[in-house]
Chains A and B, each alone.
Chain A
Amino acid sequence: MLPIAGKIFLLVLIGITAYFFTKRAQYLISLLKLGKPEDRSDNPGERWRFTLGQVLTQTCALKNVTRKDLSGIGHMLLFYGFSFFVVSYGFHIAEGLYEKLNPSLLGSLFNNGFFFMLDLAGLVVLVSVIWAAIRRYLVRPERLEPSLEAGVILLVVFSLMLLNFLVEGSRLLAEEKPFADWAFMGSAFAQGIANMGLQSHAHTLFYCFWYVHMMVIFGFGIYILYSKHLHILAAHPNLYFHSSRPKGTLQPIKDFESAESFGVSKVTDFSWKQLLDLYACTECGQCSANCPANISGKPLKPKDVIINLKHNLFENGQNLLRKKEGEEEPLIVGSVVTHDEIWDCTNCMACMEVCPVAIEHVDKLDDMRRYLVLMESNFPAEVQTVFRNMENNSNPWGIGMATRADWAKDLGIKILSEAPGEFDILYYVGCAGSFDDRYKKVARAMVKIMQAAGINFAILGTDEKCCGDSARRIGNEYLFQTMAQENIEIFKNYNVKKVLATCPHGYNVLKKEYPQFGAKFEVMHHTELILDLIKNGRIKLKGELAKTITLHDSCFLGRYNDIYEPPRQILNSIPQANLVEMERIERTSFCCGAGGGRMWMEELRGKKINEVRTEEALTKNPDLIATACPFCLTMFEDGLKAKNADDKVKVLDIAEFVANHL
């Protein structure tokens, strides 16, 4: 097919591409090696299953498809279509080097089918590219930026499809025997070329198109590594090396005694996987579009954090590689990622939930908090009080620890610190249930439910300590670990096997983070227990509640622990209750604003997150707002006051709903 000069040209093209590709790839890998070691090699079977599952079924993109945002479908079409093209490029190159290596080698049926599919795929890709261009340049959703880079990519993909059809068309005209019968787009283009009266030049046209096509293909191959479309190559390893820790847990600092620095202040403090995250980013902006800090007008935009880190890595990469031992490395904390961005995060995990390529935004921000807290003691002033209160009285408000069990007086509860005894379930009350007058009502409601169900439970009394979630999320890992170890010892002493928590923060940390320090007990949330009790007929809900209720999903219960159904089923078991859902629920639920230790900080930037969420709830005209978290409860009560709706709308915990209907 090709003259010898053409074959040499093709070989040179392959050589040049391989050279640049290898050089860039080596550079990218050497930058990754600047990161700290981290073992992500466990359980390869699960990793392959996860990666292939996300990519082949396009779950990565399709999971974010909503009625308002169909772009995931566009990505799927592009992905399948273009993947088919990548295979076809293999055939093109092989055929160029040795003409017998073409699809007809596998039989004429395969050959015809192949070109039919290829033309179909080309058509699909063309449509998706036009769709993508419209979304970027005509009706642009806020999360996308109309960058030059995106434009170049769309133009290149568009021209690749066009060139493919032109190659097919001119080839059909140039060759006596058609290379395939079902290449319908090729035939259409052949017709078009013939109509223009260019049939006699078909041969020349074919070679011209063929060479141009090849050059664009190889050029694109190199360009990928230099552009945001690096994700085409980096997303797969990033998915493969996804965190295998239980969802919503932070990595413990293991070497407190020997380490000389804690947390992340420089690029090289990140692990290699945290750096690979930067390559994998597709800049789709789903993270920012779902981030409560961004939506409420704060500086934090998770996408920008990732992109700024990536640009910084590329800008400083050469210097970092050349850096000698002992030379100073520039800080990223306070410059590339600002303090405001770091402290704005509510750890709600919406960004990570929607990220198609398993980027770990929250871990990065919390690692930078660790640096600020543990190395520089640089944190919002009001947090100092919280740390001190946790250290002195083991609760964030600093109320005397001796009064921790006062709420339970006269309730007929087994209090282990007063009289150890046998029990089936330990009710870990938590700080809010113990000290906050409002949330004490929830603790009492839970007691009423368990007593009605005849559960043999106990509380630790004054031996109960703060769970430490806020300390960990604010970045005070040292304080957190001290508290976790103390609690685990206490639990061991009382031979605790099963724990009930009403606070999702306590629930998450006890269930999923304490095992990092040797905890071995089962933990359940009160919504799980209550649903069980209802299902088993151990409690029956009586009376009617002819009210409109809207349910707010707590981040630490929902996204962190996938508990979406129990609170809904419980509310629906109350006769007449009318549950109306908000727009943002379940996995894309909108944070109340208090997670990640934000409960204890002033919200100085942007709108108040709790007011944004309260406004959303109020659009449903509810009589009641249901929550299952003390932080959410407080944030909604404050939000309703700010909106002057606290006379009309009340906030109740799921346990209170149930206790009112026993």
Chain B
Amino acid sequence: MGNNVLIFAEQMGGKFRSVAYEAICQGKKMAQGLGGKAIAVVIGSGVEAVAKDLGQYGADKVIVVDNAKLKDFTVDAYGKAFSEVVSKNDPAVVLLAATFQGKDLGGYASAALGAPLSSDCTEWASQDGGIQVKRPIYAGKAYVTVKFNSQPAVISLRPKVFSPDAPDASKSAEVEKIDLALSDDDFRSVVKEILAKTAGKIDVTEADIIVSGGRGLKGPEGFAVLEELAGLLGAAVGASRTVVDEGWRPHSDQIGQTGKVVSPKLYIACGISGAIQHLAGMRTSKCIVAINKDPEAPIFSTADYGIVGDLFKVVPALTAEIKKAIG
């Protein structure tokens, strides 16, 4: 029986996603509790060079499966590679992020190895020499605590619940490269093309900060002031339904009942009155700032901070202050 924790470090195009660091930091902590090691697994093409950096986040060892055929994620090939690594290492815990890749791989590995699986976990604890996790059920109405009766326990962590520790540049990890024979049969599906949503633009559902505009912007050109603020904050630009209906912004930016439902850390609503059809799409944001010239606008009853004023004066002033603050 092993006591190591094996962590799938998710990457895309040779860059680790933040969920990879989140998983490794938690994996390291689990491994300490179990008295084992944190072993990160990197699968992809041309990923060997970046693999050792994972040591800075707490990985004791990094196993790399580097193969030109593994450039893009497909569940057959990645699943086969990952399951082989898992069965060779016999860990106590297999850790992934509950992303599209992680959910896919977790399920594959669980089935391939006959291992218990608990997905989308939001808490974990060391208990009786093992790991126990908590995960939401019934769409978040209740939580269950899950104990595992056999090894390895396959666990996926809900993204953004755990924050990664700051990297420690003094640390590095030993890198082990594994060669894996892959036949064409391992590629029942092939990635032909990845269509990036408008290059360089942050998708509203993934953004931590959203600057959103409504009819108060008066026209498509009005969004320039929001774009500037958003660029500074690394934020996505969202829009209300009326704005999209008018054709000022693309439908992919629409936030609300019939558009995207978002829950960023900060939502800045500019010139949006806040009808319920819009609130339904953003009211769970952690902090809502409303800028509107109408003090009666319903958005103010939902906002944490409200500014009554002309957004064309307020937003540029805000942008200027932030510029000053970040130098």
Residues of A within 8 A of B (CB): 382, 385-386, 388-389, 391-392, 396-399, 432, 435-438, 600-602, 608, 634, 637-638, 641-642
Check A601–B258 contact: CB distance below 8 A: yes
For the complex, give the distance between the alpha carbons of A637 and B215 in Å.
13
With beta carbons under 8 angstroms apart, the residue of B245, B258, B276, B298 that contacts A382 is B258
Give Cα distance in the complex from A436 to B278, angstroms: 11
B301 x A382 contact (CB < 8 A) = no
Question: CA–CA, A642 to B245, complex, Å?
Answer: 9
Contact residues of B between 115 and 150, Cβ < 8 Å to A: 138-139, 141
Q: In the complex the two chains form, is B283's CB within 8 Å of A399's CB? A: yes
A399: chain B residues within 8 A (beta carbon): 280, 283
CB closest residue in chain A, given B254: A602
Query: Which chain B positions have C-beta within 8 A of A382?
Result: 257-259
For B215, B242, B274, B280, the residue with the greatest tally of chain A CB atoms inside 10 Å of its CB is B280
Which of these, B242, B257, B261, B274, contacts A638 with CB under 8 Å? B242
B275 contacts the other chain (Cβ, under 8 Å)? yes
B-chain residues with CB within 8 Å of residue A637 when the two chains form the complex: 275
| Option from A385, A391, A396, A397 in Cβ contact (under 8 Å) with B279 | A397
Q: Which residues of A contact B89 (CB under 8 A)?
A: none
Chain A residues within 8 Å of B259, by CB: 382
B242's contact among A398, A437, A438, A641, by CB below 8 Å, is which? A641
Interface flag for B84 (CB, 8 Å): no
Give the contacting residue for A398; candidates B251, B258, B280, B298; CB below 8 A. Answer: B280
Q: Is the CB of A600 within 8 A of B215?
A: no
A435 to B251, CA, bound (A): 26
Complex alpha-carbon distance, A637 and B276, angstroms: 12
Report the separation of the CA atoms of residues A388 and B259 in the bound assembly, to the nearest whole angstrom.
Answer: 15
Contact residues in B for A438 (Cβ distance below 8 Å): 275-276, 298
Contacts of A601 in B (CB 8 A): 258
Q: Can you name 11 A-B pairs with beta carbons within 8 Å?
A: A382-B257, A385-B261, A386-B257, A391-B139, A392-B141, A397-B276, A397-B280, A436-B276, A438-B275, A600-B257, A642-B242
> Cβ of B258 and Cβ of A435 under 8 Å apart?
no
A514 CB to nearest chain B CB (Å): 25
CB distance from B240 to the nearest CB of A (A): 10
Name which residue of chain A comes closest to B251, CB basis.
A602
Give which listed residue, B246, B251, B283, contacts A642 with CB less than 8 A. B246
- Check B277 for interface membership: any CB of A closer than 8 A: yes
- Interface size of B by CB at 8 A reads 22
**Per-residue interface assignment for chain B, residues 220 to 263, with 1 indicating a CB less than 8 Å from any chain A CB and 0 otherwise:** 00000000000000000000011001100001000001110100
CA distance A650 to B259 in the complex (A): 26
Please report the C-alpha to C-alpha distance between residue A602 and residue B275 in the assembled complex, in whole angstroms.
16
Contact A437 B276 (CB under 8 A): yes
Q: Which of B141, B215, B275 has the most CB of A within 10 A?
A: B275
How far, in Å, is B203 (CB) from chain A's closest CB?
A: 16
Q: Are B245 and A388 in contact (CB under 8 A)?
A: no
Q: Closest A residue to B244 by CB, please name it.
A: A602
Q: In the complex, which residues of chain A have a beta carbon less than 8 angstroms from the beta carbon of B257? A: 382, 385-386, 396-397, 600
When distances are taken between beta carbons in the complex, the residues of chain A under 8 Å from B141 are 392
CB-defined contacts of A397 to chain B, threshold 8 Å? 257, 276-277, 279-280
Instruction: Report the separation of the CA atoms of residues A392 and B275 in the bound assembly, to the nearest whole angstrom.
Output: 22
Kindly report which residue of chain A lies nearest to residue B138, judged by CB atoms: A392
- State the majority secondary structure of interface residues on A: helix
Complex Cα spacing A392 to B274, Å = 23
Would you call A388 and B258 a contact (CB within 8 A)? no
Question: Whole-angstrom distance between the alpha carbons of A601 and B283 in the complex?
Answer: 19
Nearest CB of A to B251, in Å:
8
Q: What distance in Å separates the Cβ of A474 from its nearest Cβ neighbour in chain B?
A: 13
User: Chain A: which residue is nearest B215 at the CB level?
Assistant: A641
Q: How far is the CA of A629 from the CA of B120 in the complex (A)?
A: 41
In contact, B277 and A634 (Cβ under 8 angstroms): yes
* Residue of A437, A600, A641 touching B258 (CB-CB under 8 A): A600
Known: A608-B245, A641-B215. A634 touches B275 (CB 8 A): yes
B280 / chain A contacts, CB cutoff of 8 Å? 389, 396-399
Contacts A600-B257, A642-B246 given; indicate if A437 touches B298 (C-beta within 8 A): yes
Hey, which chain A residues are within 8 Å of B298, CB to CB? 437-438
**Assembled-state Cα–Cα distance A634/B246 (Å):** 17
Cα distance, A159 to B141, chains bound together (Å): 75
Within 8 Å by CB of A602, from B246, B258, B276, B283, lies B258
Least CB distance from A439 to B in Å reads 8
Closest chain B residue, CB of each to CB of A611: B245
The residue on B at minimum CB distance from A388 is B139
Which residues of chain A come closer than 8 Å to B139, judged between CB atoms? 388, 391-392
Residues in B neighbouring A641, C-beta threshold 8 A: 215, 242
Q: Which residue of B is nearest A383, CB measured?
A: B258
Q: B185 CB to closest chain A CB, in angstroms? A: 32
Q: Which residues of B contact A436 (CB under 8 A)?
A: 275-276
Closest 4 CB pairs of A and B: A397-B280, A437-B298, A436-B276, A382-B258
Determine the distance from Cα of A638 to Cα of B275 in the docked complex, in whole angstroms.
9
Given the known interface contacts A634-B275, A637-B275, A641-B215, the answer about A437 and B283 at a Cβ–Cβ threshold of 8 Å is no
Q: For residue B277, which residues in chain A have a CB less than 8 angstroms away from its CB?
A: 397, 634
A644: nearest residue on chain B (CB-CB)? Answer: B215
- B138: chain A residues at CB < 8 Å are 392
Q: How far is the CB of B252 from the nearest CB of chain A, in Å?
A: 12
Collect the chain A residues with CB atoms within 8 Å of residue B245's CB: 608, 642
A435-B276 in contact (CB<8A): yes
Residues of B within 8 Å of A396, CB to CB, are 257, 280
B279 contacts across to A, CB distance below 8 A = 397
Tell me whether A437 and B301 are in contact in the complex, defined as CB-CB below 8 angstroms, given that A382-B259, A397-B276 are known contacts: yes
